[in-house]
Amino acid sequence: MERAFQRTQVLINHLLQSSSPLPSQTLSSNACLSYSPPELSENYAFDVKEMRKLIDGHNLEERDWLFGLMKQSELFNPKVKGGKVFVSPDYNQSMEQQREMTLKRIKYLQERGVFKGWLTEKGEEIEMRKFAGFEVFSIYDHSLFTKLGVHFPMWGGAIQFCGTKHHHDKWLRDTENYSIKGCFAMTELGHGSNIRSLETVTTYDSNTGEFVINTPCESAQKFWIGGAAKHATHTVVFSQLHINGINQGVHAFIVQIRDVDGNICPNIRIADCGHKIGLNGVDNGRIWFDNVRVPRENLLNSVADVSPDGKYLSLIKNPDQRFAVFMAPMTVGRVNIAIGAVYQSKVALAITIRYALTRRAFYLKPNEPEVLLLDYPSHQRRLFPLVAKTYAMSFAANYLKVLYAKRTPQSNKAIHIVSSSFKATFTWNNMQILQECREACGGQGLRTENRVGHLKGEYDVQSTFEGDNFLLMQLVSKALFAEYMAAQKRNKVFKGLGLEHMKKPCPVIPSQLTSTTLRCSQFQMDALCLRERDLLNRFVADVLKCKAKGENTEQAFNSCYELAKDLGRAFSERAIFQTFVEAESTLPAGSLKDVLGTLRSLYASICIEDVSFLRYGYLSVDNGANVRREITKLCNELRPHALALISSFGIPDAFLSPIAFNWIDTNSWSLV
């Protein structure tokens, strides 16, 4: 009872603010936490500017100029927090307000010449400049990135790839100037991935020289069309083309959907897709066509045309090859989505690791300071493998961009396969990174202003738009199957896609993996090649076995879907690793190369740690444990380089978030 009385007295004294508490029960507090910038305690062992050059790869000055343009305008919503200025969209605005702000930002950028030459100039230089621009936009806001992606690479790209000179002359400059606002009407309510089966129907009226476009049923309505709900003036409509009762397959047509005053054109109905879990700055809409007539020249006719008297003309007789040409705009869309995912991963990791370098939790010993989050091995284990993944994706993205910018008719197939593979892998990785970073930031990760948690909703759509990731991995596996069968038929070695290793002696994983072996780049490449070649051999064998039982090719592929996914990931991770090794090989000996070698070993190790290496018997249980131990050691070795690694991302402070800096001042009462 005496103890209870004492406790009660302490509480009474506290509540009454008594100046004479019981001597034995004097209350005291620990010293308040204070923020200390990580720059005061963290050292740079390598040149972060040189590392940035390596991972950004190109157009650094243009990126920094674009960052500056955005920071200096009130349109990009600058806010002062904790003595620093941050720019980020106001996600508390209504959907309508967010859409209008996205449009205003695009007009601001257009007026300052950001898009000059994006559609009216050709060559590798302009392509790389566009990619750099999209990477900067993805750092600021996914809605800005996506709305511009629909307008330039999708609408504009469709005219470039599927149209001919008179289309280019008529439409591209006005598109570049944003006096025409384009959208891309491919997806339907009933068909998202299966484009061949679109239900929109177009016929030709030879009496008037016009095409007539119709939405014959509700499932044929165009759905999720970015820009259609409010702002787009024109669209490219993908539709089945029926000529003289014969379906010639999917073709593309230019259709005006709004007049200069913003009124919806006759015989067109448009509805809003409504509020979404993210991307509310993009006005996604639904479109119905009721006997909409367009001139004959509005057919994008690079591969097929219709004569004035109604005859179907094409030099490409194979409908599959014609269809592939019409899918060309999808490829650049996948490239852009892949590179955007890399830069969002960089944003999340830069914020999370800066926070972990200043946030403390728990004591290891009495009377000592609480421990920095990033000094816990568990925190290192959850974040540094993601840093290694992001560096690996950066090198792979640079490879993909150059591959696309230097494209030739001969390289189109490789671009299609690699972009599909990287888009799926990068966006899956990005969602994993965003989730892990959200959790690693604790409750602060839930606040919208801190970006990391909110970005999950913004970027979740990546996994399904421009191709569902599971279907893309099946597409990659089907392409690898075709390469395998063609090589067998010709009795020639594999050439291209990095598959040359298929004809080399099969690598062998040692029975006992040591640290030296696990860090050897040749062993790492051998291990990833071993998995890829074995899964390809298994996949081919299983598909042929299914066909031998009477299944057709598509049924056989569907029966082997698990192997298809594992094979697609194996191809992707080996290809990504290959670009990492090539980037590392360009460096002279020194601290930069040493740190990059550690990152490369960590990336390879987390790939080898994947369950597939145990599932298919490439690793023993003991070797699996050795790999896990090595990952822990590699994470610990990267700890001194944490700040330098994320500073090398080159993201200005204003594009991060308050918890990346003085999170105590940011949350002070004076700012409430």
Q: Please, where are the H alpha helices in 291-411?
A: 319-326, 328-356, 377-405
Q: Using alpha carbons, list the distances in angstroms from residue 427 to 1, 297, 462, 574.
A: 62, 38, 6, 17
CA quadruple 489, 490, 491, 492: dihedral, nearest 10: -130
d(CA 604, CA 513): 14
466, 483, 573, 630: which is the annotated catalytic residue?
466
**531: phi then psi, degrees, rounded to nearest 5:** -60, -45
C-beta of residue 388 within 8 angstroms of C-beta of residue 433: no
d(CA 117, CA 315): 31
d(CA 469, CA 595): 32
What is the distance of C-alpha 273 from the center of its chain?
A: 23
Look up tokens 């070797």; give the residue: 623
C-beta of residue 237 within 8 angstroms of C-beta of residue 225: no
Write the single-letter amino acid at 4: A
Dihedral sign for Cα atoms in the order 607, 609, 614, 617: positive
C-beta of residue 283 within 8 angstroms of C-beta of residue 230: yes
175 annotated as belonging to a binding site for a ligand:
no
Hey, which residues does 264 pair with through a beta bridge?
Answer: 258
Look up tokens 């019409």; give the residue: 326
262 annotated as belonging to a binding site for a ligand:
no
Q: How many CA atoms lie within 13 A of 645 on its CB side?
A: 32
Hey, which residues does 236 pair with through a beta bridge?
Answer: 184, 254
Instruction: Label residue 623 exposed, middle or buried (CB < 10 Å: 0-12, 13-18, 19+).
Output: buried
Token pair in block for residue 606: 């987390």
CA quadruple 659, 661, 665, 669: dihedral, nearest 10: -20
* Secondary structure class of 178 (helix, strand, coil): coil
C-beta of residue 612 within 8 angstroms of C-beta of residue 639: no
Look up tokens 């569902």; give the residue: 468
Write the single-letter amino acid at 595: V
C-beta of residue 157 within 8 angstroms of C-beta of residue 120: no
Q: How many CA atoms lie within 13 A of 296 on its CB side?
A: 16
Q: Pairing state of beta strands 234-243 and 182-185?
A: parallel
Hey, which residues does 255 pair with through a beta bridge?
Answer: 235
C-beta of residue 173 within 8 angstroms of C-beta of residue 116: no
Task: Respond yes or no: is residue 121 known to be catalytic.
Answer: no
DSSP structural state of residue 672 = -
C-beta of residue 657 within 8 angstroms of C-beta of residue 63: no
Contacts of 527 (CB under 8 A, 6+ apart): 507, 509, 604, 608, 613, 618
Known catalytic residues are 466
* Binding-site sequence positions for FAD: 187, 226
Binding residues: 187, 226
